[in-house]
Chain A
Amino acid sequence: MSPALLSARGVARRYGAHVALAPTSVDVRGGETLALVGPNGAGKSTLLSILAGALAPDEGAVTVATPAPRVGWVPQRPAQYAKLTPRENLELFARLEGVTEPDARARRLLELLELPDDDRVSSELSGGNQQRLNLAVALLAQPDVLLLDEATASLDPRQRRRFWDVARAVRGRGGAVVFVTQNLEELERFADRVVVLLDGRVVFEGTLPEYEADPRADVFA
């Protein structure tokens, strides 16, 4: 078993009296694709945001391997500046990430993800292109761990295939992919391991075959 690149230990998050995520422990290992599944409001996005470092847990902590892996995060809703073009967004985030050649990196990602490179600002792009830009921003730092929060929901089949090609390339380099999904086809096709959350608690953790064999599998999704 590969060593854990990220380890969440007893992480929990509350919003007032509402428990979004009860104390939860999850390891993210190199070379694997981990799926987080569960109904709406189960705490999947909260756990992913905590793993991404975008949300501080109220309890517990996320530890990282040494050397620290680079983490790319694709939130459910595109997280980029609406009044900047895709190139400007990528160059800005590349500089913030400390990428050595931000202009070149931005150009490569524009080509890789077939993003428009003109004067149109990102708010003028289609939903699919906005989501691909969202992925491109996450890929800027050449992440070892890619965290995807229902990232393919607004993509057409061709875009989705390309998206997963990129994600699998991360895993192919010994990195890890963690994805939140409600899409059974994606789950069965890409997941190595599955964590099921229900009402903020982990109710299942195992390999894809174990998940498929579990009688509760239909209820989980």
Chain B
Amino acid sequence: MTAVALLVRKDLLVLRRSPVLLGALVLYPLLFAVLVGLLVRFAADRPRVAFVDLDGLPEEVTIASATFDVERVIEQVNDKAELVPMEEEEAERALETGEVVAAIVVPRGFASTLRGMVESPTLVLRTGKGGLAGRAELSTQALVYRLNLLLQEAFISANLAYVELLVEGGESEFLGNEFDVVGLETAARTLDELEAETDDPAALERIRELSTFVDEALLALRQADETLRATANPIELETDHEAGRTWLLSAQLQSYALALTLAFVAVLLAAGAIASERDENVVARLARGLVGLLELVVSKVCVAAVVALAVGLALALVFGVAAEVAGVQGGEPWERLPLLALGLALAGAAFGAFGVLLGVLAREARTAVLVAFLVALPVVLIGLVPEGSVEAAGHVSQVFPFGHAQRLFEAALFDLDPWGALAREAAWLLGIAAAFAALARMGVRRLLV
């Protein structure tokens, strides 16, 4: 057995004798993953947006004979953004300080323009320059879309009321003028009666022409409901919440949970393991030709990779069983586990190499673990910044394993054609592992002092 294998076996034995440490190393990041997942899932989807009402919207607004409870309408669209009512100056300040990511301004005259139904009133969206501005814009677009849907429904209902009046007849009012409408159905009945009462061929012909018109008009107007709705919504979106996995079993959460767990387990473990060689005064004994310093670094990287593989596969197994038990469509792609195993080992090695470097710099095991924890946290968080939202974060994230590991796991488990992403991210992880291991090797002599 090689020196590296002997040291790996020793470290695994030591780890087995520290079940509390192992449990904490696995459970803590898993819990953290779920919490971060919740944060990512819900916080980013519902940004805080200031709502500035310069028009002084009344409690109720009547448009096209439909009355809207303004507060209720806002509540209905509140799942897309958390609307916080503010004065104009307060909103500006909140936008500057980042308390809100955007401000929706209702300009003066908004309600009267809306009621007039002649031109479209305008809502104004003010956003900051930060990475969340785009997200706020999307949320606000969704909000305006929902508002438009509600109004559209009101307009359609109003128009349909007029159509109903034309069909059935009755009393109505428009722009303050009251009037009676005979209605097409009454007209049809009247024409039938007239047809029965007259023998004049010319009158009969005219009555029948009118009857045909009334019948066709009735036929057309009875379709008006569906036609109007179809014109207003040429494409309807049908949402089937049962078709995909629940959020808890989603591909995204699984890949994040795996990457996050490994980030903590492998980094902390490798940092603590290399530094404890010095704490136990063994590193000098090993360096006497028993184990090369590069072998020492490699052994800790291997330990991290082995533990990452074991922990990662256990997690994947739990997710898989949960997906099976829940009867999730698509199920767990069990046949992809070998690919995932490869990714777990690679990611574990990359995180491990980073941890070894931290351990070498910190030198003492306790300091190393603390430093590793403090460093792992921002490394993970920077990897959680949505791609493209903050360019600088994306660049920094590239040199750490987290983002690559997450994308590799997602590709390995769920991509229909994973090979491109797998090759790219595996190459990144290998490169990162080699770079951090080389840096750790350069500094490992620090442990001899």
Contact = CB atoms under 8 A, between A and B. Distances in A.
Contacts of B3: 96
B280 A82 contact: yes
A71 B17 CA distance: 32
Interface in B259-291: 280-282, 284-291
A15 B445 CA distance: 13
Interface string A96-136: 11000000000000000000000001000000000000000
A77 B448 contact: no
A199 to B, nearest CB: 19
A81 interface: yes
Interface stretch (B6-14, B302-310, B396-404): B6-14
Contacts of B243: none
Given A15-B449, A84-B14, A93 B280 contact: no
A37 to B, nearest CB: 22
Given A54-B285, A81-B14, A95 B1 contact: yes
Contacts of A81: 10, 14, 280, 282
Contacts of A80: 280, 282
B18 A75 contact: no
Contacts of B6: 92, 95-96
Contacts of A52: 284, 288
Given A84-B13, A92-B6, A79 B291 contact: no
B10 A53 contact: no
A39 interface: no
Contacts of A97: 290
Interface residues of A, number: 26
B449 A75 contact: no
A28 to B, nearest CB: 15
B284 A54 contact: yes
A155 B286 CA distance: 25
B40 to A, nearest CB: 38
B311 to A, nearest CB: 20
B13 A79 contact: no
A54 B445 CA distance: 11
A96 B284 contact: no
Nearest to A76: B281
Contacts of A96: 3, 6, 286, 290-291
Contacts of B448: 54-56
A97 B280 CA distance: 19
B302 to A, nearest CB: 16
Interface of chain B: mostly helix, strand, loop or mixed: loop
A75 B14 contact: no
Nearest to B277: A81
B284 A49 contact: yes
Contact of A73 (B18, B280, B288, B445): B288
Name which of A71, A78, A96 has the most chain B CB atoms within 10 A of its CB: A96
Residue among A71, A78, A83, A93 facing the most chain B CB atoms (10 A cut-off):
A83
Contact of B281 (A15, A75, A88): A75
A146 interface: no
A79 B282 contact: yes
A97 B282 CA distance: 14
Contacts of B287: 53-54
Contacts of B10: 81, 84, 88, 92
Contact of A53 (B18, B280, B281, B288): B288
Interface string B349-371: 00000000000000000000000
**Residue of A15, A73, A75, A81 with most partner-chain B CB within 10 A:** A81
A181 B349 CA distance: 44
A79 B281 contact: yes
Among B280, B445, B448, chain A packs the most CB atoms within 10 A around the CB of: B280
A95 to B, nearest CB: 5
B282 A83 contact: no
Given A79-B281, A96-B6, A88 B289 contact: no
A75 B448 CA distance: 13
Contacts of A15: 449
Nearest to A88: B13
A73 B3 CA distance: 19
A76 to B, nearest CB: 9
A97 B448 CA distance: 19
Contacts of A79: 280-282, 284-285
Nearest to A75: B281
A214 to B, nearest CB: 33
A170 interface: no
Interface in B418-449: 445, 448-449
A55 B14 CA distance: 27
A56 B445 CA distance: 9
A96 B448 CA distance: 18
Question: Which of B6, B285, B445 has its CB near the most chain A CB atoms (within 10 A)?
Answer: B285
A12 interface: no
Nearest to B3: A96
Nearest to A55: B448
Contacts of B288: 52-54, 71, 73
Nearest to B281: A79
A55 B449 CA distance: 8
Contacts of B291: 96
Contacts of B445: 56
A106 B154 CA distance: 89
A73 B286 CA distance: 11
17 contacts: A52-B284, A52-B288, A54-B284, A54-B285, A56-B445, A56-B448, A73-B288, A75-B285, A81-B10, A81-B280, A81-B282, A88-B13, A92-B6, A92-B10, A96-B6, A96-B290, A121-B17
Interface of A: 15, 49, 52-56, 71, 73, 75, 77-84, 88, 92-93, 95-97, 121, 137
The 10 closest A-B pairs by CB, nearest first: A54-B284, A79-B281, A96-B290, A83-B14, A53-B288, A79-B285, A77-B281, A79-B282, A54-B288, A83-B17
Given A52-B288, A75-B284, 13 more contacts: A54-B285, A55-B284, A56-B445, A79-B280, A79-B282, A79-B285, A80-B282, A81-B282, A83-B13, A83-B17, A88-B13, A92-B6, A96-B290
